[in-house]
Each structure stands twice: as structure tokens, then as C-alpha cells.
Amino acid sequence: MKPSIGDIVKYRDWKPGDQEIESIPKESRGWGNVGLVISVGVDTFRSKHQSDFGILEESVDYIDNDGDIHTARMEDVEVLVSNEEG
């Protein structure tokens, strides 16, 4: 299910191929974050080829319990609670 505004989503867990966890400052780690979707759209993300300027992909912005806003590829979030359910 694609996320929509008002949904509660979880950002995916760390997986092989991601940067090593220890190489990312603790305050910048987002794996497993949960938050409320505040925007759905398109954003530019790096592709697997570091030589390009990135590619446009569907994205979501969500706000977590600390008030931090995160932008993620739509494919990297899972809808935990749909706004349509409540």
C-alpha cells in the first residue's frame, strides 16, 4: 500500500549494501524510524551510480516523535496505520 498524508509509517531497517551503521552519526541514523506522513511527492535521490546527479523517485516526508522531518523513498517505508482506517 502506498503511503498517503496522515498515515503512520516506518522507515525500513538497515540492510546489506547500506553504509556501515557505525559510519553514520547516531543523530543521523534513520533506520526503523516511525512517523506521521506530512507530504507525498517526488524528490531527487542518489542512484546506485555515484557518477550521476540523482534520479527522481516517489517520496514521502514524515515527522517523528522528536519533531524531526525525514524524506524517504516511498519504496523504503511501510504503512503501519493507514489514515483511511481511522
Q: What is the pLDDT of residues 46-62, one digit of tens each?
A: 776 666 778 889 999 99
In a domain, 1, yes or no: no
- Please name the residue that has the C-alpha cell 557505525: 22
pTM, rounded to two decimals: 0.83
Give the torsion sign (CA, 84, 15, 13, 45).
Answer: negative
In a domain, 40, yes or no: yes
In a domain, 45, yes or no: yes
Structural domain count of the chain = 1
In a domain, 3, yes or no: no
In a domain, 51, yes or no: yes
Give residue 34's pLDDT band: very low, low, confident or very high (50, 70, 90).
Answer: very high
In a domain, 33, yes or no: yes
